[in-house]
């Protein structure tokens, strides 16, 4: 039964919020059969973003990423269900939207890797850390 309670962290980035596609993204997760167990809209502080993206701090795009993610509100969500981490990542599509298949969120809604509208945990461990960091659960 533990796999039925698996949780993932999904965040709609500022461009997704600004474009008004929050409902469409929620609908896709609900239609798949996952349960929304936590959600909040927030303006992420630079400190929170630096913590969240700590593993990318040495990458050349890090300052641009922090600037982009602090440019507007984000919608932070926790989804629950069997295999939600892996399935959620498939639903999001590739990090680079140009490599994402039609039918995925990034494949359907964006074209630029620097504005790829959504974040999803890449493992159960990452999800647990991100959920605690966002204080959603």
Catalytic residue among 7, 12, 84, 119: 119
- Asked if 35 contacts 97 with a C-beta cutoff of 8 angstroms, the reply is no
Residue 52 annotated in active site: no
Would the annotation count 95 as a binding residue? yes
Would the annotation count 89 as a binding residue? yes
Would the annotation count 104 as a binding residue? no
Would the annotation count 13 as a binding residue? yes
100 Cβ neighbours under 8 A, 6+ residues apart: 93, 94, 106, 107
Distance CA 9, CA 55 (A): 16
Distance CA 127, CA 9 (A): 5
- 64, β-bridge pairs: none
Binding site for ATP: what residues are annotated? 13, 61, 89, 95, 106, 116
Which residues are known to be catalytic?
119
Q: Give binding residues as ranges.
A: 13, 61, 89, 95, 106, 116
């Amino acid at each position: 039964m533990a796999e039925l309670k698996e949780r993932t962290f999904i965040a709609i980035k500022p461009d997704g919020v600004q474009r008004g596609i929050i409902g469409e993204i929620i609908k896709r997760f609900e239609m798949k059969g996952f349960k929304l167990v936590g959600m909040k809209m927030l303006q992420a502080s630079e400190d929170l973003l630096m913590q969240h993206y700590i593993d990318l701090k040495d990458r050349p795009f890090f300052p641009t990423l922090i600037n982009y993610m602090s440019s507007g509100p984000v919608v932070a969500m926790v989804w629950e269900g069997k295999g939600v981490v892996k399935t959620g990542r498939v639903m999001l599509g590739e990090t680079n939207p140009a490599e994402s298949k039609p039918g995925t969120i990034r494949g359907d809604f964006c074209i630029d890797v620097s504005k790829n509208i959504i974040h999803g945990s890449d493992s159960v461990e990452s999800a647990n850390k991100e959920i605690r960091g966002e204080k959603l659960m």
